[in-house]
Amino acid sequence: MIKLPLIAPLICFLLFFGCQPKEVVPETITMTKGDIVLSVEPASGGRISSLTFRGREVLKTSRDSLGLQWGSTAWTSPQSDWSWPPIATFDSEPFTVTELREGVILLESKRDPDTYLRMRKRISLGEKSDIGITYWVTNEGPSSTKVALWENTRIPYGGYLSFRADSLRGSLDSLPTELVDSTYRIYLDERHTQPQKVFTDLKAVPVNYHHKGLVLRKYTSVKELYRTAPGQAPLEIYLDPPAGFAEFELQGDYLLLPPGESANLRVRWEVFPEL
């Protein structure tokens, strides 16, 4: 027979350590400033799950059967390092919210067990319907590694993208484009019937996505092909007419990272009505 004085400490121990609060990853965090409402899902790779301007959605928010091709996310580059699907640590697994204040969120992934890389994201809302985003990737492994950052924003299939470029190629023999005032236009319309990928440098920024009276504009500092990873480009556009979406992608510098070192990609978005 166990005496009460021995049972009481055991009960206290179980109650104290068994009921401690566990870290809870918020399902959705929504930030608002002016006409912009931006939502982030830390539990889904720290993904931007929605971006609205005066109540109108800019991104593709409907989810495919695997829950991969929606919203805006970030990966490591080149794709040849991981093929498909993307590394789950960065694309779909939970990120920790390390800072949250008005108009600003900072998120951090766990260390990927295979690459020893860790990703961080900082998203901040500006005063003029602009969004500043910085991505970092840190090498926490025992040896140097080459890597770049890669922003991938899914958008509805419709409207067109416009940009200035010197070198442009597509993954298919046919790539319908228009050249207007030294600016390329790729229309997301019936001229494309099957999926393909477009790779291009940038003669200048910004790059614009025009759709249903709104413009999503992106700025980046990486414009030259030589700065990006093998097989990649500063601007990449994936068209998938059958699935009803496209991808508006920016690549960062491809760098050799010694242990403990980081690379970053800074971009700026603007959303505004078409003139």
Structure confidence by residue, pLDDT tens digits, 183-240:
999 999 999 999 999 999 999 999 999 999 999 999 999 999 999 999 999 999 999 9
Q: How far is CA 102 from CA 33, 46, 57, 131, 220, in A?
A: 9, 17, 21, 13, 25
| CATH T-level fold of 23-273 | Beta-galactosidase; Chain A, domain 5 (2.70.98)
Q: What is the pLDDT of residue 23?
A: 55
Domain boundaries, the chain: 23-273
Q: What is the pLDDT of residue 14?
A: 41
Residue 9, helix vs strand vs coil: helix
Structure confidence by residue, pLDDT tens digits, 20-66:
444 566 789 999 999 999 999 999 999 999 999 999 999 999 988 77
Q: How far is CA 201 from CA 111, 171, 183, 219, 241, in A?
A: 31, 15, 13, 13, 23
Q: What is the pLDDT of residue 10?
A: 42
* d(C-alpha 252, C-alpha 270), whole Å: 19
Q: What is the pLDDT of residue 184?
A: 96
pLDDT band at 18 (very low <50, low <70, confident <90, very high): very low
Structure confidence by residue, pLDDT tens digits, 93-134:
999 999 999 999 999 999 999 999 999 999 999 999 999 999
Q: What is the pLDDT of residue 196?
A: 95
